[in-house]
Amino acid sequence: MTELTSADFERLRDIRAHRPDAIGTALATRRRRDVLQGDGRLFIIAADHPARGALAVGSDPTAMADRYLLLERLAVALGHPGVDGVLGTPDIVDDLAALGLLDGKVVVGSMNRGGLRGAAFEMDDRYTGYDVPTLAAKGLDFAKTLVRVNLADPATVSTLEATARAVDQAAAARLPIMLEPFMSEWRDGRIVNDLSTDAVILSTAIASGLGADSAYTWMKLPVVADMERVLAATTLPTLLLGGDSGADPDETFAAWEDALALPGVRGLTVGRTLLYPPDGDVAAAVDTAARLVHRELPAAVRRIPTITEGRIS
């Protein structure tokens, strides 16, 4: 069990202000692991949403705005033995490294966050986070990109080209890179992803062909109707995308369980659904998802107290 205290946050602030080199040291000296080990499955907690201006969870438009609360919830999740790692932007990863929460975890660096939620330039999804050389130099384990394809928006081709170059760089560095593709369109001034089965298949086909070397490419795909057809569209290892909270949790978990049984699926990458569950019980939500991914978890995982009252005082 991992619980953060006010002293932990004071130490984090001190490191950031007075000892910034300690962050790089923490990343360089953390205990690393193979990306796939044991049962060959991965359960990754995603926390790269804020850097794209996506702070909402369900009906709460600023749910992810409190960084201290987000870190508390991430600590709960990463303290579970069934959670293999975390996906974040440099600010999140550096916070977690400084707090000592990344030992033995797969660390995934989020690369393109320039397509800000609600912006007129949202489809111009530039690479404003990590790049492959930095990921390799810092010893991170995985790269991640968002690949939204809007056939009516010329900005799409720039993102596709940048993503292809990132795939090439990742392959050259022997760094796994997960692509999260969507067919997207403008509706009433906002970008909406098409979650129909045919659209997800099309986006998978487009993303799979990016770059000159697909040896290290993974897919990160939403759970939609008829996932058998979706998974038949690629031989690339695939992680399931959890999406936002909204659907009934029992229905969500059941859909994940069915999709996790399909060929090619290697696990889950989920963020808001588990970090901000409707009942506030982060530990229970994470435990349920972990047991869907890793069937052989120990029967007795110590319960972690629910975080419901905001930041630690």
Output the pLDDT for position 299. Answer: 54
The DSSP H or E segment spanning 185 is: strand 177-187
Question: What percentage of the chain exceeds 70 in pLDDT?
Answer: 93
Domain residue limits, the chain: 6-293
Q: Which tokens go with 132?
A: 């492959």
Question: Cα(260)–Cα(271) distance, rounded to whole angstroms?
Answer: 17
Closest CA to 176 of 240, 132, 209, 232: 132
Residues, the chain, total? 313
Q: What is the mean pLDDT of residues 195-217?
A: 98
Output the pLDDT for position 306. Answer: 43
CATH 3.40.630.30 for domain 6-293:
no
In this predicted structure, the answer to whether residue 245 has a pLDDT above a threshold of 80 is no
Q: What is the pLDDT of residues 116-126, one digit of tens each?
A: 999 999 999 99
Arithmetic mean of pLDDT over the chain: 92
Q: Which tokens go with 219?
A: 């897919």
In this predicted structure, the answer to whether residue 200 has a pLDDT above a threshold of 70 is yes
* pTM (predicted TM-score): 0.91
Output the pLDDT for position 305. Answer: 42
Where residue 297 falls among pLDDT bands split at 50, 70, 90? low
Q: What is the pLDDT of residues 42-70, one digit of tens each?
A: 999 999 999 999 999 988 899 999 999 99
**What does DSSP assign to residue 32?**
P
CA atoms within 13 A on the CB side of 247: 14
